[in-house]
Structure 1
């Protein structure tokens, strides 16, 4: 199942919000350049308050920011972008990633490309791409994941047992270090490192990839999102890590329920961005 390739263009571009990578005061010059380039094109720039405090500028609360802008800019790497997407998901705002990190599968442009991108932005020469999100219920709390949700062992000296059901029918029992449940956007993250498949981000599917499985017959599997998936661990030796940013400890036999979210992450891209070129560049295919 494939998501729509793009949403319509923004109705207006008057105000944008900027979030900087945390604990990176060295990004002040980058922010000042971003602010200047947008203001030169009569676009107002609002800075999130934690980012502002970090670089001695004035800023506003994140929720207030989201209510007063047309799209968000994340400045940093993929981790910063994921955090911005997850925090802003209820506001239905497109997010543009400016890559100041290393690999950068998700962040779209480099800082030196921003001036040309703004010209394209004003001409409506861009795309807004929807990305699938995971909705999980853990400890009775609903959690959103953009990249992945990992069930991992807390104790390195013992093997983890994870019992899986699909649509309330027993599906598999995993033994090993853990299990990754990834979105297609997250297929190039931990999933790829653990030997899972790369799945195009416009696909609608869950990717289940065992981590250091005890049995060699346990292989990654791609599951349509029409199913609801449930996991249990028969002891209290497991934790759930969401997008590498939040951790939830599990109780014995606690249920983890996973389904596709009705909400989509909206990614703002250059029209010239080609996913397969990104893969070829980042993974050095053909070199």
Structure 2
């Protein structure tokens, strides 16, 4: 049996910041319960201001929150956690995901498990995963992605044409609906739905997956993370770049999108009992 070792722990935990799923004012009672549980363990809870406004309480801006707390808590699902990780990335704060629906790929702690997890947290019985992030640029816009960067056609009536380079050297041309550049964490998202491979989330690699390619010879490609990838839009209609399904940038003909590994990693707090392959089995219903 493989034993995972992770020696990174949070020293002397005193405070945590909470971000709630947007447009969900019904989460007020859940927030108050979470706050009560952590305060009983002598961990102060601060609430992000947009979340606070949503439930008619007082909060503080996210940037100030990140500076004050030891770690962040995302309350919702995988989409909420994606947003929290990206917005707080520069502050290097670990993120704990509390899942309010079915088991998530990223958020694995339920409200029922939270009391016992807080005890484990106080006793240093938890783990911190360091997940690869990618950073990209288009025109003067720079961004980071936790799951994926998608280059997609603007119009559903035509294909998009994209030229691709690795470390400045041409390696492929894509004709089809677009291209996905995924992190290992994002390999189970859009990448998986278009036939891309599942890659263990602590691996350092890019997955480049064509979407509905015109040529049957186009296949997903897994490559080491120390390469820089550049995509140039050949199509005269331009394209759109979608970051983690949340931010969208327009790209015109002959403009380029550059993608490389980010200088830092995202930090995820998990139960020591969490097993990635069990999550795959349950989410994908393997063997059923």
TM-score by length of 2: 0.96
**How far apart in 2 are the matches of 1:222 and 1:110?**
33
* Structure 1 unaligned residues grouped into runs of 5+: none
Partner of 1:206, secondary structure, is strand
* Aligned alpha-carbon RMSD (Å): 1.1
Q: Is the 8 A contact 1:5 1:130 kept in 2?
A: no
Partner of 1:174, secondary structure, is strand
Give aligned pairs, total: 284
Per-residue Cα deviation, 1:108-166 (whole angstroms, up to 9, x for no partner):
21111100000000000001110000011111222100000000001110100111001
- Look up the match of 2:276: 275
Per-residue Cα deviation, 1:237-267 (whole angstroms, up to 9, x for no partner):
3000000000000021111111101110000
1:11-26 superposed matches below 5 A = 11-26=11-26
1:116-155 superposed matches below 5 A = 116-155=116-155
1:22-171 superposed matches below 5 A = 22-102=22-102, 104-171=104-171
Partner of 2:17, secondary structure, is strand
Per-residue Cα deviation, 1:47-87 (whole angstroms, up to 9, x for no partner):
00000111111111100100100000000010100000000
**How far apart in 2 are the matches of 1:42 and 1:130?**
26
- Look up the match of 1:266: 267
**How far apart in 2 are the matches of 1:6 and 1:144?**
25
Q: Is the 8 A contact 1:46 1:59 kept in 2?
A: yes
Shift of 1:8: 1.2
**How far apart in 2 are the matches of 1:61 and 1:191?**
33
**How far apart in 2 are the matches of 1:27 and 1:163?**
46
**How far apart in 2 are the matches of 1:7 and 1:84?**
24
Per-residue Cα deviation, 1:11-45 (whole angstroms, up to 9, x for no partner):
12111000000000111111111001001111110
* Structure 2 unaligned residues grouped into runs of 5+: none
**How far apart in 1 are the matches of 2:153 and 2:78?**
25
Where in structure 1 do 4 or more consecutive aligned residues deviate above 2 Å? 4-7
**How far apart in 2 are the matches of 1:128 and 1:262?**
18
1:219-230 superposed matches below 5 A = 219-230=219-230
TM-score by length of 1: 0.97
Per-residue Cα deviation, 1:218-254 (whole angstroms, up to 9, x for no partner):
1111011121110011224300000000000002111
Q: 1:21 to 1:123 in 2, by over 3 A?
A: same
**How far apart in 2 are the matches of 1:24 and 1:47?**
15
